Structures are given as structure tokens and as C-alpha cells.
Structure 1
Amino acid sequence: MTTKKILFALFFLIILMIGSIFWVQHKLNRYLNTPRVEQAMLFTVDSGSHFSRLGHTLLTAEIVTDLTWWKALGKLHPELTHIKSGTYQLQQGFSLNDILITINKGDEYQFSITFVEGSTFNEWLQILNNAPLIKPLQENEQQIAERLGSPHQKLEGLLFPETYHYTAGMSAYQLIEKSYLHQQQVVEKLWAERDKDLPFKTPYEALILASIVEKESGLSADRDKIASVFVNRMRIGMRLQTDPTVIYGMGERYDGRIRSKDLREDTAYNTYRIDGLPPTPIAMPSEAALYATLHPATTKYLYFVSKGDGTSYFSKSLKEHNQAVRKYILGK
């Protein structure tokens, strides 16, 4: 073979190799960047998964239709092979490249769970039990309180109501612990800044009244005046006489109505029968309710009644209060 023919053959082989490299790169780029996710979805990478196993998981989930280029992808793009287990949200139009970047970063999907102001611990339990991909509680309320280091056996009022975020596999206890610590911080701060001469010996007593203020407040603007009513009653030794505590004491027996016999019943939470505060909060108060309780309006009000529009009518005397009841409740 002449030198000219050898050079031509070498040139042809080089062109063929370059063409093959470009062809492989084109195919791999297409495999990597073609949109794969038709609609947003959650995708879980199991603990212990590696790059090869992830490919089969994607194939089973029908996110990819074949693994022809999977091994080549791992060799040519080793930066995409660092798999982190977890649950991820794959957005509509995500390509394989988008998926692998998300999984490599470990950007797990953040679930949200909301506990509203005035909710009870039993309602929290229902919400937690219905939350997706969260480890359920293994302990009862008293055991949880002990684990948290709380001096109280009931958790009512001790958890801060708001929206929390968690990742798949997080335990319900972790969320409760987070809300407990948050509530402690809020109570400690507001207690230190409280008004003088309030009828509370401890922050826990303030929490108890704040939970009542929370349940009685139809309008946030009325909170400090409602708090003033109860603070004024406590100062003169008058019973609190508030329906939400009666309802709490009735528990599951409450059917939406309070009857005369319920107001006469001797329970630890019937503030028509007991002096002072009930033994525990009756709900999870908001920071605003606790603030109002520790900074009540300066009033001489001893009574209030709902006007039916979310606001309340406040009275200084029983006579005025009875007139308001006839107007706003009885419609006379």
C-alpha cells in the first residue's frame, strides 16, 4: 500500500471516529435533555439507591422508556451519579438532566402542614395522622410531654400554631418538638415584656387565659378588650364564666349546644362553677392572643356579648350586659 493510500485510510478513520463521537454525543444529549415528566409528580429514591438502581426505578416509573444510554451517561457525566435518597418533586417538562441535578443536590420536596390558632391537641393529632409520608407518633400525650421535658402532662396550649414544613420520613414527634420549642420562645419573650400587676403567677397561667381569649375572639381587634374583661374579673375574684371552657370540659359529648345542665355540671373546666382559671389551656393560642393577654386594654369592662358580625359589645355592669344580650342574642 502506498503512502498516499495509508494517509487516506488514516484520514478516513479519523473522520469516522470524529463522526462517531459527535453521533454519540448527539444521542446522549438528546437522551439527557428530552422532556420526560408530563405532569408534576413526587418521585422517591429509596435509601441505599445507586446510579444503576436509579435507572431501573425511573424505568419502572415510566419516566424513561429504555436504559440504552444509561451506562454511557454515568461514564461521561460522573457528576450526575451522586445519588441522594429522598422524595423529590419533578416538575412538568423535567428532562433526565433536570431530574438528576435535583436528586444530586438532595433538594427534597417540602410538605406543608398547618395548625390553626385555637385548635386543640386532639385536632393536631388528626392532622398529623392524615399527613402524607410522615412517621406516626408512637407515644401518648403524657409520654410525649415527658420526652419534651415539659413539667405539664397535657400539651394543650404548649404548641405554637402555624404552618410547618417537613420532608418525607420525618417523624410527627419532630414537628411537635419544633412547635413546642417555638411556643416556649414566644412565651418567654412576651412574659418578660408583660404589663405590671397582672393576676398571673406563672407564664402557664397566662397561656391558660390566652387560650380562652383565642376561643372568644371573633375579631382580632377585640382581643385586648376581651382579655381586659377576664383580667378584670380575676382581679375582683369574679368567676370567668366562659362557654369555651365548658365545651372543652364536655369533650366528645359536645354536640354544638350548651344546655343549662352543662353549665351546672361540676368539671375542672366549668368556669361557671370553679373559681379562677381552669387547670390547663383549652387550645393552642396564637402569639397575638398571648400578647393581648399580657397587654390587656385598660377598661372597666366585666362583660361582653357577640353582636353576630364577629365583633363584641362590652359592658361595665350586669344590667347593661343583659340589655345587650336581649338585643344581640334574643333579638328583642
Structure 2
Amino acid sequence: MTNNQSILITGGAGYIGSHVVKLLLENSNSDITVIDNLSTGFKSTIDELKKIRDFDFIYADLSNWDEIKGVFKAKQFDAIIHFAASIIVPESVKEPLKYYLNNTANTTNLVKLAVEYKVKKFIFSSTAAVYGEPTIKEIGDGIDENFKTEPINPYGQSKLFSERIIQDTAKANPDFKYVIFRYFNVAGASPDLTIGQKTKNATHLIKVAAETTVGKRDKMFIFGDDYPTKDGTGVRDYIHVMDLADAHIKGLEYLEKNESDIFNVGYGKGASVKEVIETMKKVTGIDFKVETAQRRLGDPAILIAKNDKIINKMGWKPKYDSLETICKTAYEWEKRFNEQAE
């Protein structure tokens, strides 16, 4: 575990960022600073994390470049873990400039400040959306990091632009090193249920299924049952949020002795929409209403990661590699979160 470092985490009040903060607070003595504008993150999550031990929380927006520069002037950082971003695909199609400004321009400024203030390690939260809409034939037994990058929406494009900016900066500045993580489908919650996914108007399948299970929604939808898959529904690689968080800690350790690189983060196996719904019903013992609707634009039939690289090069070992575990923690968190809100 990374110790004695000063680490800046952008978006640390959000879903994935908060789980990384939790692991760092519990397992290292690193000095943590979180920046979040609380647009999708929550102050209550920060308050929960501060029960572990205290850390600096700065309420700020990355678009306020002067204010962010002031943070770097006030404190020297050894590493940045950059989560803060807009992530809703349909919204990115309707509001592309929001995505290019928030995701690409703000990342560019953050990278500029990292170089200017001699921050040597940069961990970037990217996405499998950079791979676009591959066909089943192209996917084969999974997508590796060398697969062509052809995003089909501004969200994926904004992340790919950011990747290139980070890579080009590292080429020009030998002391600046990065790890880029391309996430597949993240779900679940911390097993102790202190933090989890609070996203409003969630669109992710397992979160939506959990909300339906506890009665937050009266039904949920399967978007398309005519895909060329085993049961006609889309297949995705689901990863537990704690395993994803652990990958970020491994990423910091990796950069101590290794060169910059890009890694897929997934389990290397897929589950269909119908399988996820059946698993949620099985682990909760609750039947809920499911209807079929039309396909959503830009949803590939299958998206599965090849994860050999992160396992072999980084020594990453998933601990929660089970659809049952993912669904159960998502449900237990939703149940608790629902009770807290009442």
C-alpha cells in the first residue's frame, strides 16, 4: 500500500472516487486531499469517510482554473487520481460542449498544473467507451488495450482526447508518468455498507435493478432483447467497485518502478441483462416487474475486457469476482440508503 505520499483526488465524493479514498484512509498514512464540486458527489459521503480519519476536503469546481491553481500553490502533491467527469452517454450527445469542457478541457488544465508543480504520478479514470461499438466478431474472447479506439459519442471521445493529452504530455516530460484505467461496468458497494452508489437518476443496470428491488422504481426495462447473444440481451463485463478501487492503489504502486501504461479493468467475462436481473432476484428473494423496451442507441451487443495485462503486469487480484456478490452488495446498500433517506 502506498504510504507517506500527498495524494490529490478529484471527484473523491463520488461513487468510485469515494471507494478509493476509503481504501487509502484505511490502509495507508498518505495525506489525502479531495476536490469535488458535489454535482454528482455527496457531502454526506465525505462526512462518512472522515470517520475513518481526517483529510482535506476542498469544495471547488475544476473549471475554476485560478482556484485550482491555488490548491497546487498551497500544497505539494506526489500523485493525482483524477475521477471528476461527466459520464452520462445520452446527455453527452445532447450537450457535447459540456463534456468537452468538463472532461477534456479541465483534464488538460489539471495535467498542465501537474507538470508545472512537479507532480510525478497521474492516475486517470477512462472508460471502455473509447472502444466504440465493436462487433461480436471483432470482440472475440474480449477486448485488449490495443483494440482500435473509435468512440461513438462525445463522452467516449472526450475521454479519448484526455488520454491522448496525458500521453503526449508524458512524452514531452519524462518525470511525469501516468496510468490510464479503462473501466468496464462498475457496480456494487463497500461490503461494510458505509458508502455506495448514491447517483440520482441512475442508468446503470445493477443500480437500477437494486432500486427496483427496494421499491424506488415500480418496474425496470430491458432495452432490447433481439441482440445476437445467447438470450437476446446485451452482455457486459461487471466489476465490483472495491476491486476497481484496489486497482487504483495498485496503479500508484506500479508507477514507483514502472513506466506509464494503459490498463483495462474488468473481470474478463460477461453477464447478460437477463442474467443480471435473475441474479438480483435470486440473491434478494424479491420478484420485481421487468418490461422490454427498444434498444438504446449505441449499445453494443457485447463488451468484455481482456484483463491479462493488469493481472500480469500490476499483480491485481480481484477479491469480489462474483455477480452474486456485486448484486448483493448493491441491494444491501440500496436498502440501507433507502432507509437513511426516509
Q: So what's the TM-score if we normalise by structure 2?
A: 0.23
Report 1 or 2 for greater relative contact order, CA contacts < 8 Å, sequence distance ≥ 6: 2
| Largest Rg, 1 or 2 | 1
Q: So what's the TM-score if we normalise by structure 1?
A: 0.24
